[in-house]
Each structure stands twice: as structure tokens, then as C-alpha cells.
């Protein structure tokens, strides 16, 4: 009779322990999910047009973003060490970006609380005259 | 010295080594840095406005010294090339229309054989001001054209001879162009000199005894130089629309101003155009 009661108590303890563990794991996971904000990064305009392929294209671009919660956010040019601009305790922002590049540039909005990119976008570069001065498209009217 | 020997010497001096090149005015506006030997073409069509003074009597009709004219124009820039054969038309160019064959290509330069017309027809149909004068036909010139791309510079020379027995004259020209980029605006500059032999000048600007009158006294023109200077800018409004503008001054030989068919020793032009790039 005694050994049966001991076994039941032990089973109850294990059940309690595993329930506690599950609740803990779930709460940690839920917290991690909660720490990745949902954000959007956009620009106006989102492309730059130069005359000739190979030329550096210049464009004043307005970058704007918003997230579902306040925090510290920075906009980075992908793979760059230094941010273009950062905001403290903000859920949205706007930045005037002096774009100058001969190729497309990828930008990321990074949540600095957990160092995670939360949104990204690309600014394209286009040209009127493609490679080697002449358009490769064929005659269209004849 | 025969014409073709002189043309060959000019080509050898200016292009000691030898790419398919295009019209200098068109190339420099695009900021071209090298020739293109591929088959195919391009077409741009637009509209523009030009304001100008002309040194030529009768062009436009009723033209007087220093008179400022304003005209709308269709801006066309087109080129098609196949296996070396090409035709090109560029309304803002100094040559306007050329056709020819590319017979030698290098990395940064090219030699073409080109045919073009240097002078328009002068008769009563072209301008009432020419009433009473003998008809002067347009010419068709043929000869080598060399183009070199030297960084931001483009050098182009022509050595042309009349091939339709209009005047049997020759035209030699050398032009140097340069382009600069400031943000997305592309600036260009062209300086050039052209020598026309006595046959050319005599045919168009002399007044022969059989056509001389009180209005058009007898005159004999000799060969001479003319010079051009041009500054301009090209801006890509979008991938398909381009804005162009330029200011150009043409200076002609002062001795030629004694011709009744010349009213000034220079002409100027300011033009702007917006074109669609197909």
C-alpha cells in the first residue's frame, strides 16, 4: 500500500515537473516571437535613372519605415558596417538618402534590440543607353 | 596631291592604330566611351524648339543679318547597323544624315566610309530669295571618317569628296568633343574646324556673270575655313525620355561675307528638345 502511494507521488512530481518545463519553454518561445517586430521599409522613388550604363546614378531618395512597436532601429546598406541612420524609441521614421551608385543597392531596417533585420528593400539602377552606347533592342518600327 | 592620297594621309595621322563609331554629336551626348560593333539600332523621336541666327542669304527665306528666328522641329536620332553597313540620322548633329560602311575596328577607334550631304539645294523652290539665280544642287560627299574615343574625349575627322559632279570639291573636317557628368546631367562641348575647297565655295557662293544683277553682283569665292563651338546638356528624365539642349556658334571665313549670298560671318543657335527613346 505504502509503495503504491510512493509511486503515485513520484508520478505526480514528474507530471508537475514536465508541465512546468513545458510552460517555461512555451513562454520563452512566445517571448522570442514577441521580440521580432513586424516592420516595413519603403522608399520614394525606388529607382535611379542615369544616361549611360556604367555611370554612377545620383538620386535623392526618401526612405520611410514603420514597425508594430517602438524600439531602437537603424537602416543599413546591406553588408555595410555603419548604419545610414538610427532612431531611438521610435515606431516609424523617415530619412533623406543621397543615393549614388552604379549598381542596385539593398537596404535593411535592423531592430537594434536583438540585432535582427526586420525589413529590407532594393533601390534599382536603370539607364537610358545600355551597354556600349547603343541599345541592344532591335529596330522596332521597321 | 590627289584627294584619296590626302584622305589616306589624314586618316593615318589622326588614327595610327584603328571600332564602329557613330556621329560625333550623338555619341558625345550619350557620354559614349567606346565604339559599338554590334548589329542592331536605336531610335529616338521627339520635339524641340530652336532659336537661331543664320549667316546665309535666303535661309531661311527673308533672312537678314542678326535676325533671330524661332522654329519648332522634330528631333530624330536614329541608327541602324548590319554587318558593318549603317545609316544614321541625328537632327541635332552637324552632319544630320550619314550612311556608310565600317571597314576597320579597334578597341577605341574606328574608320568608316561615309556618304553624306554637306550642302542643301539652293533654288527658287527652296527659297524665293534665290529667284534669278542659277540653281545650285545639293552635294553628295563620300570619304573616310575616323573616330577615336580617348577617355571622355571623342575625336572625329572626315575627308570627303563630291561624287555626283555637283562641284567636284572636297571637304575636310576635324572635331573634338568632350563630355562631363554632374550628377545625372551630362554636359558636352564640341569644337571643330572644316575646310572646304575652292570648288565647293565657288559653286555655292560665287555669283557668275550670267546670273549677276544689281541685287547679286558678280563675286568669286575662294576655299576657306569655318569653325564651330557647341556646349550642351543631356538629362535622362526617365528610362525612355531624354531632355537635350545646346548652344552652338558657327563662324565662317570673313572673306566670304563679301558674297551676296552671305549676310554675316557667323550664326548662332540655341535648341532644346525632349525625345522618346524606343
Please give the share of chain B, as a percent, with pLDDT higher than 70: 89
Answer yes or no: is pLDDT of B78 > 70.
yes
Q: Is residue A18 less than 8 Å (CB to CB) from chain B?
A: no
Answer yes or no: is pLDDT of B69 > 90.
yes
Please give the share of chain B, as a percent, with pLDDT higher than 90: 69
Chain segment A106-119, per-residue pLDDT in tens: 999 999 988 899 99
- Give pLDDT, residue B40: 84
- Give pLDDT, residue A1: 47
For residues B277 and B44, the answer to whether their CB atoms sit within 8 Å is yes
For residues B175 and B190, the answer to whether their CB atoms sit within 8 Å is yes
CA distance B29 to chain A (A): 9
**Taking every pair of C-alpha atoms in chain B, what is the biggest distance, in angstroms?**
59
**Listed residue (B31, B25, B182, B75) closest to A129, CA to CA:** B31
For residues B92 and B25, the answer to whether their CB atoms sit within 8 Å is yes
Q: Is residue A137 less than 8 Å (CB to CB) from chain B?
A: yes
Distances B115 to B14, B87, B99, B154, B166 between C-alpha atoms, Å: 20, 10, 5, 20, 14
Size of interface A-B (CB pairs under 8 A): 78
Instruction: Choose the closest CB to A51 out of B27, B31, B43.
Output: B31
Distances B261 to B69, B164, B250 between C-alpha atoms, Å: 18, 23, 16
CA distance B160 to chain A (A): 26
- Give pLDDT, residue B24: 74
Q: Is residue B23 less than 8 Å (CB to CB) from chain A?
A: no
Euclidean distance between CA atoms B218 and B257, whole angstroms: 14
Chain segment B84-108, per-residue pLDDT in tens: 899 999 888 877 789 999 988 888 8
Answer yes or no: is pLDDT of A41 > 50.
yes
For residues B260 and B57, the answer to whether their CB atoms sit within 8 Å is yes
> Among the listed ranges A30-34, A53-57, B119-123, which one has the minimum average pLDDT value?
A30-34
Q: Is residue A140 less than 8 Å (CB to CB) from chain B?
A: yes
Answer yes or no: is pLDDT of B184 > 60.
yes
Q: Is A54's CB within 8 Å of B33's CB? A: yes
CA distance B21 to chain A (A): 10
**C-alpha triplet B106, B110, B112: angle, nearest 5°:** 140
- Give pLDDT, residue B36: 63
Residue B212 burial (C-beta neighbours within 10 Å; 0-12, 13-18, 19+):
middle
Please give the share of chain A, as a percent, with pLDDT higher than 70: 66
| Mean residue pLDDT across chain B | 87
Task: For residue A79, name the pLDDT band (cuts at 50, 70, 90).
Answer: confident
| Residue B61: count of CB within 10 angstroms of its CB | 11
The verdict on pTM exceeding 0.90 is: no
- Give pLDDT, residue A15: 59
Mean pLDDT calculated for residue range B69-84: 92
Grid cell for residue B1: 596631291
Top mean pLDDT of A50-54, B124-128, B141-145 is at: B141-145
Mean pLDDT calculated for residue range B246-253: 94
- Give pLDDT, residue A114: 86
Euclidean distance between CA atoms B165 and B12, whole angstroms: 27
Q: Is B235's CB within 8 Å of A59's CB? A: no
**Listed residue (B224, B241, B198) closest to B55, CA to CA:** B224
Contacts of B278 in chain A (CB under 8 A): 135, 137, 140-141
For residues B50 and B20, the answer to whether their CB atoms sit within 8 Å is no
Q: Is residue A130 less than 8 Å (CB to CB) from chain B?
A: no
Q: Is B40's CB within 8 Å of A128's CB? A: no
Task: For residue A131, name the pLDDT band (cuts at 50, 70, 90).
Answer: low
More confident position, B9 or A38 = A38
Cell 574606328 belongs to residue: B110
**Listed residue (A109, A94, A102) closest to A124, CA to CA:** A102
Q: Is B181's CB within 8 Å of A137's CB? A: no
| Terminal Cα-to-Cα distance of chain A (whole angstroms) | 102
Amino acid at each position: 500500500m505504502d509503495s503504491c502511494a510512493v509511486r503515485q507521488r513520484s508520478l505526480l512530481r514528474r507530471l508537475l515537473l514536465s508541465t512546468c518545463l513545458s510552460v517555461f519553454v512555451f513562454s520563452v518561445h512566445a517571448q522570442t516571437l514577441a521580440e521580432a517586430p513586424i516592420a516595413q521599409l519603403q522608399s520614394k522613388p525606388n529607382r535611379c535613372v542615369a544616361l549611360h550604363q556604367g555611370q554612377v546614378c545620383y538620386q535623392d531618395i526618401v526612405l520611410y519605415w514603420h514597425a508594430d512597436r517602438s524600439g531602437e532601429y537603424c537602416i543599413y546598406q546591406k553588408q555595410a558596417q555603419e548604419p545610414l541612420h538610427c532612431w531611438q524609441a521610435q515606431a516609424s521614421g523617415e530619412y533623406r538618402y543621397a543615393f549614388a551608385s552604379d549598381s542596385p543597392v539593398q537596404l535593411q531596417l535592423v531592430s537594434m534590440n536583438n540585432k535582427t533585420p526586420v525589413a529590407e528593400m532594393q533601390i534599382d539602377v536603370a539607364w537610358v543607353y545600355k551597354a556600349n552606347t547603343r541599345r541592344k533592342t532591335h529596330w522596332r518600327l521597321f | 596631291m590627289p584627294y584619296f592620297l590626302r584622305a589616306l594621309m589624314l586618316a593615318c595621322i589622326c588614327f595610327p592604330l584603328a571600332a564602329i563609331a557613330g556621329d560625333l554629336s550623338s555619341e558625345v551626348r550619350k557620354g559614349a566611351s567606346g565604339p559599338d560593333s554590334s548589329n542592331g539600332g536605336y531610335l529616338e523621336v521627339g520635339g524641340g524648339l530652336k532659336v537661331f541666327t543664320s549667316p546665309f542669304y535666303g535661309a531661311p527665306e527673308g533672312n537678314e543679318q542678326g535676325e533671330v528666328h524661332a522654329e519648332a522641329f522634330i528631333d530624330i536620332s536614329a541608327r541602324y547597323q548590319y554587318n558593318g553597313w549603317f545609316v544614321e540620322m541625328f537632327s541635332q548633329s552637324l552632319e544630320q544624315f550619314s550612311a556608310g560602311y565600317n571597314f576597320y575596328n579597334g578597341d577605341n577607334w574606328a574608320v568608316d566610309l561615309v556618304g553624306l550631304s554637306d550642302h542643301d539645294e539652293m533654288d527658287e523652290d527652296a527659297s524665293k530669295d534665290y529667284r534669278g539665280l542659277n540653281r545650285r544642287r545639293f552635294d553628295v560627299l563620300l570619304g573616310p571618317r575616323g573616330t577615336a574615343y580617348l577617355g571622355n574625349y571623342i575625336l572625329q575627322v572626315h575627308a570627303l569628296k563630291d561624287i555626283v559632279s555637283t562641284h567636284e570639291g572636297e571637304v575636310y573636317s576635324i572635331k573634338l568633343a568632350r563630355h562631363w557628368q554632374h550628377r545625372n546631367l551630362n554636359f558636352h562641348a564640341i569644337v571643330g574646324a572644316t575646310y572646304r575647297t575652292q570648288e565647293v565655295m565657288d559653286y555655292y557662293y560665287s555669283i557668275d556673270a550670267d546670273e549677276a544683277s544689281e541685287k547679286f553682283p558678280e563675286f568669286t569665292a575662294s576655299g576657306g575655313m569655318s569653325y564651330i563651338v557647341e556646349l550642351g546638356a543631356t538629362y535622362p528624365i526617365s528610362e525612355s525620355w531624354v531632355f537635350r539642349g545646346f548652344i552652338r556658334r558657327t563662324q565662317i571665313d570673313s572673306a566670304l561675307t563679301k558674297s551676296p549670298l552671305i549676310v554675316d560671318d557667323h550664326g548662332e543657335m540655341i535648341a532644346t528638345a525632349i525625345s522618346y527613346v524606343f
